[in-house]
Amino acid sequence: MNELSIKCPKSCEHNLTNKSMNRIAFLGQASVAFKYKIPCIYSSGFQLLTDEEKLAANNVAFEFLNNWLTERGLNKVTLDEALLINRQVELY
């Protein structure tokens, strides 16, 4: 996640400040895809993890997200705010 935020700062800024999306999922998918050069078509691998592994992965992403936000002078978010599962983006 650190490498992703350094090498793809605009993508991180766009996705990590978007309150209408699952920022935890973005961090997980984008970090794995970036590090291992995995095409986005394989982004459903999270479902192969055990419940404990999913919780651990989400907690790492959640901690990273809040550190990233506070480093930029933005407010921390709750886990529920970071996940925002099944919410549509509000364009207008």
- 92 within some domain: no
- 12 within some domain: yes
Domain count, the chain: 1
1 exposure class (CB count in 10 Å sphere: 0-12, 13-18, 19+): buried
Tens-place pLDDT, residues 33-79: 898 888 877 777 888 889 999 999 999 999 999 999 999 999 999 99
- 59 within some domain: yes
* 3-state secondary structure (DSSP) of residue 31: helix
- 90 within some domain: no
- 22 within some domain: yes
Which pTM does this prediction carry? 0.85
> What is the span of the domain harbouring residue 62?
2-83
